[in-house]
Structure 1
């Protein structure tokens, strides 16, 4: 979808602040990260569904809130929709925190959930989570010149807007992975080959781009088309 979250490649947004290597600045950010890791282990949602919920945030709210607020917004929706917690329980705890009232005690730890969490995190850490899918025939090879499609997608996609319609070169092959555009909306995995495509800076930002710059983007096969098969304008 086209939304305010897709800021890559846009001009005149000011400098990017650098120099701060801290991942977390407040305790609630650490807890939010923990909730994300727990959800990855015990929830039945995918990263693509999670990302799409962040994309649905009102634009002004998205731009005015910190990074981990985006995470928390999606996690509240996912945990409540799956029955781990209710919206009323979330509101009750928020009001208690605001008013300085004592919080209700947390539920007793579930040993089976804890063991499942630990085993899942070990699998992700040491086996890569098993996200790669079996090989399928591909239409592209390293060295091919391609064009990123201009996508009319109402939902989630991993094709950033700033490359739409731009030409690049396939520089690497990553394997076969589930298509985020369908996974995010429970329409099946539809696995496709994924390639690294390099776009020259001047192709993306015009002749004033810094010489020698390029951006390499991982693209699913359906996000691009071969230059040799594109339709051309008829000649007179």
Structure 2
């Protein structure tokens, strides 16, 4: 979807980084852990998680930090999956605002549950919340010249706006995975994926630094064979 979240590739000024810190606030680590645990225990996909963040009001999205976005999404999904109610979240938030000491949960020891959770989180590191599917017949192959589609869809998509309509070259096939566009609404539509290289000059103009390129992982429905390249090839054959 077109939204304030899709700013990749745009000139937004310098990015301030701090290499010495993984988390800048103590609660960010808790949110990170909560997302991992709920992803293993819940029913949601990464596409659903991202799409909730994309639907945040633009002003709220801009004034809140990265892990606030995560918290917004995981709260919504935990309510949906029945782990907590909206009323419980509201009551706990109000208690914190009032300076009340939150009640602590009783300690529980369940070795089997802990091991299952540990294995589930380890699997997330390998799958990225997406499971590779059996290979399908493919439209593209390494070396094909393609052009990214202009995909102004109302829902979720992983095709960044800055490559819309731009030419690229297929580098390799990456496997078949669920299409995020349909997975975000609970559907399932596996598609081949490809690594595609885009020249910096095509994306940002002739003033781009020499030999700059960007390689993106794109789903098959995000692109077509480049009509200009096809026309040139047909002309060469006819001659």
Common topology (TM > 0.5): yes
Equivalent residue for 1:140?
140
Distance apart, 1:48 and its partner CA: 0.3
- CA pair 158-128 structure 1, distance change in 2 beyond 3 A: closer
- CA pair 128-202 structure 1, distance change in 2 beyond 3 A: closer
Structure 2 SS opposite 1:37: helix
* Counterparts of 2:105 and 2:65, CA distance in 1: 27
* Counterparts of 1:154 and 1:126, CA distance in 2: 30
Deviations 1:152-194 (A, max 9, x none): 3110000000000000111122111110000011122x11111
Where in structure 1 do 4 or more consecutive aligned residues deviate above 4 Å? Answer: 125-130, 228-232
Distance apart, 1:227 and its partner CA: 1.5
Summarize the alignment of residues 51-90 of structure 1 with structure 2, pairs less than 5 Å apart.
Answer: 51-90=50-89
Summarize the alignment of residues 170-181 of structure 1 with structure 2, pairs less than 5 Å apart.
Answer: 170-181=170-181
Is residue 162 of structure 1 aligned with residue 178 of structure 2? no
CA contact (8 A) 2:95 2:102 kept: yes
Summarize the alignment of residues 1-236 of structure 1 with structure 2, pairs less than 5 Å apart.
Answer: 1-11=1-11, 13-106=12-105, 109=108, 111=110, 113-125=113-125, 131-188=131-188, 190-228=189-227
* Counterparts of 1:194 and 1:106, CA distance in 2: 44
Question: Where do 5+ consecutive residues of structure 2 fail to align?
Answer: 232-239
Distance apart, 1:95 and its partner CA: 1.6
* Counterparts of 2:130 and 2:207, CA distance in 1: 43
Structure 1 SS opposite 2:195: strand
Distance apart, 1:108 and its partner CA: 5.3
CA contact (8 A) 2:46 2:129 kept: no
Structure 2 SS opposite 1:219: strand
CA contact (8 A) 1:41 1:116 kept: no
* Counterparts of 1:89 and 1:9, CA distance in 2: 40
* Counterparts of 1:170 and 1:122, CA distance in 2: 31
Which is worse superposed, 219-228 or 97-106?
Answer: 97-106
Which is worse superposed, 125-134 or 36-45?
Answer: 125-134
